Chain A
């Protein structure tokens, strides 16, 4: 579902099987990576003949191509590197840095193309699906466009250098001649090979003069009769001036020199120096950039932009960037004359030659089936400050729009979502909002995955998402009866209410079992104990048990009493606490002082008086409670007596 952003394109139709659209409505539901569709009729249809199906419709199949996943992962690396270098560097970035980044992107594309081609060659026919072949052609087109954009926009090559780059561009993307040349050179007699002249002409068309000369030399040795003609041609080719951007020759000097050479070629043609050999004459006419001769070589040129570059090479080698569009337009029309309408790739390249960056991006997003290319290219061009210079007030909006689309697409993938995070980070306007909406939908299948999602949110101070994820995990742990985990997650969520609830569960467990199942967990709470009063109580209560276990009775008694007097213990738990006091009261040594005993008695009275007001559960339980209270009263009274005696005797001394 790589949507198209212009108005003049027809929507894509998808057909769903076994659904009769004329008789029913199509229900739907958005999902994280897909959509669900089902047949339905509002208000109920005829019964009996239904067999409802739910159809899972996937969006972009290319996300699922393993080789494109390499493209996504590797280019993510380059993208992040570019954004960071821009953030860190204070000096104005240099053109060559952008060119090198652009080349990195292209080398990733080329690696993908090569891998796809490698699979195509090395394995059985069935290994590559038609989609894969489509993929190769799309990637080839993407690389071709990117390369041209790199030359024209990023490198912004000046006159002279410009054509050298364009020649490289044509050579790289029309490398078919190399295979033929190899075949030729490995044959018994290259000069007699039927494709000999095809290869020579291809070389000349691509401006590969050295290679053409080497081939022609083979022919020359076999035809001594025509040696002077070959010598003349070799001389012309050898003398052909090539602009040297690093040399000290000026462009004017070069053009002058080139003009002389051109005249010499023209003289030889008029002298009929090559009239005896039609192929040689063709080569000479190509050197003169003769329009009709070039057009007769369509099968070697294969496309109009090759025609354009060849024609410029032999007519305007010092072409200025701003003049490119006129030649491009003319060459396209000449080359494609019997075709009614140029195809998308033609229009995109033409727009590039016109330096209409916006049109290139627009056309690419329409024609290409993915956002990867436009998003990364636009981002790079934006870093080069090229979108602003074209007076597009929405320049950065366009960059952000495309990056958001690309990253959202990644988020619909069950595995690639992690890559998308960095793209959202570099979208200043809506990136954070998008990330917030997407990240909370990532399913938390394991704790390890939850921790990864949490890390992303915490690093970006997305506090609400952090809380929500922890809460979901706490809820899930509780559902699975994992109290320790549930408590840890609610502490991380800072969810006091939930921590209280889990503390109650721990206390319930204690009441039913008579011991704590996870003493060391609660002992390990540290300051997180303070999250909720109930949790604090739980922690302190465990501490009481530890003190008691260590026979530190006085401290234990003090703590126990304070749990009630400070109102930290829930009322429902007071009876348990008082019962815990019983063995301390019955120790031989007096542990609770008289004052403490009074306080304990007060607690007991408070508890019994308020429970009288409430309804009693059952007779039997009631009896047990009553016995407990009686026992406590007795123990308290005894302890009070001994305490008073002891305290009195101490005071007497």
Chain B
């Protein structure tokens, strides 16, 4: 791996989230500076900021793209207790000249009484649905019944988790065999030994979400959860970021013939547990086919995990900073002028000097 380019994000404060759109041609960034920026990839692979606007009156924690079937739509959530939905509209012709696009706020979701910590669109087969969770321990599921009118959102479900919620993840499976399901993580750090990850499942009969399982083995604060793509399997795979990186298999248990109404019960198997970060893990995320899991920890590293053909997981890659922080503006100019220049050469060089040549050098038939 190597750093191909570095983009000055031009946010006036820390970035909290960067999100690729579905096709990887656009990205959105959000920051403590209360703004969201949208970037478009040009013909030559360069990124251009095509929109930047103030979205909230507090730090913006997360930004997420809706599936392109619903158009160009973003959701954001903030410390200001709200979540918002944004849509790109066709602007005036002079905007085209400036290469700027127009984003307008379609709705503000104001139901939370505390900071909204996560926002996620549901899988597209469920329609246009948005889920938020907040520090007050409530998960809210909103729906836009008319996908052409994004200013109308109705609060469909409110799930009270009782513990401060930090993260949510939808099970992406679109199989008819699986009811809609989401995992909620809590960063509550009371030393009570209560499971911090809850699985909720939609019940067709009651038309409500009900708790299916609690991952009782996860008792430390949870900062992120991520379901893996299903790949046609009967079971589900969930990654959890807590004091370590965990991977669980959720295997549905056969239902009793006469208990059709209750939620599915799962046999929860711990597939892997890694303490390599030696500290709190605060983000986990799968690649497209879930062959790789990335985790980020308080040790400042991102680790990549991979299973071999026998299903054994191990760390295959580490990414970390070089320890030279940007100090002030004096450095900035140089970076802007040569984001791909000499610095990058040395990175590649050092890469070859360590890992690459160690492996390749030995293969030369001398």
Q: Specify whether A and B are partners.
A: yes
What number of B residues sit within 8 Å (CB to CB) of A?
A: 105
B309 touches A13 (CB 8 A): no
Assembled-state Cα–Cα distance A50/B328 (Å): 7
B276's closest neighbor in chain A, by CB?
A11
**Stretch with Cβ within 8 A of B (4 or more), from A100-108, A473-481, A631-639:** A473-481
Partner of A18, one of B17, B288, B325: B325
B216 within 8 Å of A (CB atoms): no
Contacts of B122-180 to chain A: CB distance below 8 A: 124-125, 148, 174
Q: What residues of A have a CB within 8 angstroms of the CB of B350 in the complex?
A: 15
Known: A303-B366, A464-B125. 13 other contacts (CB 8 A): A17-B321, A19-B323, A25-B282, A25-B298, A39-B15, A40-B15, A44-B32, A49-B327, A53-B7, A54-B18, A134-B357, A394-B310, A479-B90
How many interface residues does chain A have, given as a range?
A: 35 or more
A174's closest neighbor in chain B, by CB?
B365
A5 touches B309 (CB 8 A): yes
For the A-B complex, the count of residue pairs with Cβ-Cβ distances under 8 Å equals 318
B363 touches A367 (CB 8 A): yes
| Given A4-B316, A47-B13, A369-B360, CB of A441 within 8 Å of CB of B23 | yes
In the complex, how many angstroms separate the beta carbon of A305 from the nearest chain B beta carbon? 9
Q: What residues of A have a CB within 8 angstroms of the CB of B207 in the complex?
A: none
A441 touches B24 (CB 8 A): yes
B315 touches A303 (CB 8 A): no
Partner of B13, one of A44, A55, A130, A471: A44
Q: What residues of A have a CB within 8 angstroms of the CB of B310 in the complex?
A: 394
Subset of 24 A-B contacts with CB under 8 Å: A12-B1, A13-B319, A21-B301, A23-B300, A25-B297, A28-B294, A38-B9, A39-B321, A40-B14, A44-B13, A51-B326, A51-B332, A52-B11, A54-B15, A54-B29, A55-B3, A131-B352, A345-B363, A398-B309, A402-B309, A432-B232, A434-B231, A444-B23, A475-B68
A389 within 8 Å of B (CB atoms): no
Assembled-state Cα–Cα distance A471/B22 (Å): 14
B296 within 8 Å of A (CB atoms): yes
| Given A5-B309, A7-B314, A54-B18, CB of A61 within 8 Å of CB of B2 | yes
| Given A53-B8, A344-B362, CB of A20 within 8 Å of CB of B317 | no
A22 touches B1 (CB 8 A): no
For B148, B289, B347, the residue with the greatest tally of chain A CB atoms inside 10 Å of its CB is B289
A35 within 8 Å of B (CB atoms): yes
In the complex, how many angstroms separate the beta carbon of A311 from the nearest chain B beta carbon? 19
**Stretch with Cβ within 8 A of A (4 or more), from B69-77, B103-111, B248-256:** B69-77
Assembled-state Cα–Cα distance A49/B14 (Å): 10
Q: What residues of B have a CB within 8 angstroms of the CB of A19 in the complex?
A: 300, 320-323, 325
Partner of B4, one of A34, A53, A134: A34
Interface residues of B (CB under 8 A from A): 1-20, 22-25, 27, 29, 31-32, 59, 68-72, 90, 124-125, 148, 174, 223, 229-232, 282-283, 285-289, 291-292, 294, 296-304, 306, 308-310, 312, 314-329, 331-332, 335, 343-344, 347, 350-352, 354-357, 359-366
| Given A13-B318, A14-B319, A20-B321, CB of A57 within 8 Å of CB of B3 | yes
A302 touches B7 (CB 8 A): no
B interface, over-half SS: mixed
Q: What residues of B have a CB within 8 angstroms of the CB of A24 in the complex?
A: 300, 321, 325
| Given A3-B292, A19-B325, A44-B32, CB of A441 within 8 Å of CB of B22 | yes
A475 touches B302 (CB 8 A): no
Partner of B322, one of A7, A15, A30, A343: A15
B1 touches A57 (CB 8 A): yes
Partner of A343, one of B2, B3, B319, B362: B362
A23's closest neighbor in chain B, by CB?
B325
B300 touches A26 (CB 8 A): yes
A11 touches B315 (CB 8 A): yes
A interface, over-half SS: mixed
B17's closest neighbor in chain A, by CB?
A27
Q: What residues of B have a CB within 8 angstroms of the CB of A650 in the complex?
A: none
A173 within 8 Å of B (CB atoms): yes
Report, nearest first, the 7 A-B pairs whose CB atoms are least far apart: A21-B300, A19-B321, A5-B308, A32-B24, A443-B23, A401-B309, A20-B325
Partner of B302, one of A22, A28, A53, A440: A28
Q: What residues of B have a CB within 8 angstroms of the CB of A29 in the complex?
A: 18-20, 27, 285
| Given A31-B24, A141-B363, A438-B288, CB of A57 within 8 Å of CB of B304 | no
B316 touches A11 (CB 8 A): yes
Q: What residues of A have a CB within 8 angstroms of the CB of B321 in the complex?
A: 15-21, 24, 26, 39
Interface residues of A (CB under 8 A from B): 1, 3-7, 11-42, 44-45, 47, 49-61, 130-131, 134, 137-138, 140-141, 144, 173, 302-303, 343-345, 367-369, 394, 397-398, 401-402, 404-405, 408, 430, 432-434, 437-438, 440-445, 464, 468, 471-472, 475-476, 479-481, 501
| Given A49-B327, A434-B231, CB of A55 within 8 Å of CB of B318 | no
Q: What residues of B have a CB within 8 angstroms of the CB of A33 in the complex?
A: 24
In the complex, how many angstroms separate the beta carbon of A233 from the nearest chain B beta carbon? 31
In the complex, how many angstroms separate the beta carbon of A480 from the nearest chain B beta carbon? 7
Assembled-state Cα–Cα distance A471/B148 (Å): 13
Assembled-state Cα–Cα distance A42/B78 (Å): 13
Q: What residues of A have a CB within 8 angstroms of the CB of B23 in the complex?
A: 32, 441-444
